[in-house]
Amino acid sequence: MRLTLAPQLACLLIATSMAATAQTTEAEAESETPAEEAGGLSMGEPDTAEPQVGQTYVAETFTDWELRCVRTEDGNDPCQLYQLLRDLEGNAVAEITLVDLPDGGQAVAGATVVTPLETLLTAELRLAIDGGQARRYPYSYCNTIGCFARIGFTESEIETLKRGANAVVTIVPALAPTETVEVAVSLSGFTAGWNAMVERSAR
């Protein structure tokens, strides 16, 4: 069964033909802009604009994980680890984010897994690391984006994620309650991403 987080968008490719190009003198050629040299087509410019306050940006990429941060006025930008989860056919099915939590609690990290709206909530979400015993987590709520499961990880579980290769998220479709959909969570780059996020939080 295929579940997608968002509908696929089709791309239109528009072919343009140039009827003719005007000949220019050597002096005119020296004064031409890149757009004029391309027959009036923009060749683009590097996007060097800094993110504005409140905007989310990708600070670093660690193999299969992105460190996403939100720009703040004081520059102490809060960050989280992010991965888009796809099925075997490459369709976006879910996404997971992790943040490190303050010391003193049982959970040292908080994770949010977003699944499609077609998820059977009573079946709960299951997560297993490297073929180990799965743990079940309830869904907290749903909105127009999807359904959210909020997960707490102990220090021991974070260490297991660091040593692991893959985790598997299992969800149950509401329209097919006897079936399951398994989505792999790559742990490649997790350790480096986690350490970078903790280092930023300690600044």
The domains located in the chain, with CATH, are: 56-201 (2.60.40.1880)
pLDDT range class, residue 47, cuts 50, 70, 90 = low
pLDDT score for 90: 83
Mean pLDDT: which of 11-15, 52-56, 181-185 is highest? Answer: 181-185
Which residues face 61 on adjacent strands?
66
Long-range contacts of 113-116 (CB under 8 A, 24+ apart): 113/137, 113/148, 113/149, 113/151, 113/169, 114/5, 114/145, 114/146, 114/147, 114/148, 115/3, 115/5, 115/139, 115/146, 115/147, 115/149, 115/169, 115/171, 116/3, 116/4, 116/5, 116/146, 116/147, 116/171
pLDDT score for 76: 84
Amino acid at 26: E
> Environment class of residue 105 by beta-carbon count within 10 Å: exposed (0-12), middle (13-18) or buried (19+)?
exposed
Give the model confidence (pLDDT) of 170-191 as tens digits: 999 999 999 999 999 999 999 9
pLDDT score for 89: 81
Residue keyed to tokens 């343009």: 16
Give the model confidence (pLDDT) of 117-165 as tens digits: 999 999 999 999 999 999 999 999 999 999 999 999 999 999 999 999 9
pLDDT range class, residue 50, cuts 50, 70, 90 = confident
Cβ-Cβ contacts under 8 Å for 179 (sequence gap 6 or more): 1, 172, 173
pLDDT score for 88: 76
pLDDT score for 41: 87
Does residue 17 register a pLDDT over 70?
A: no
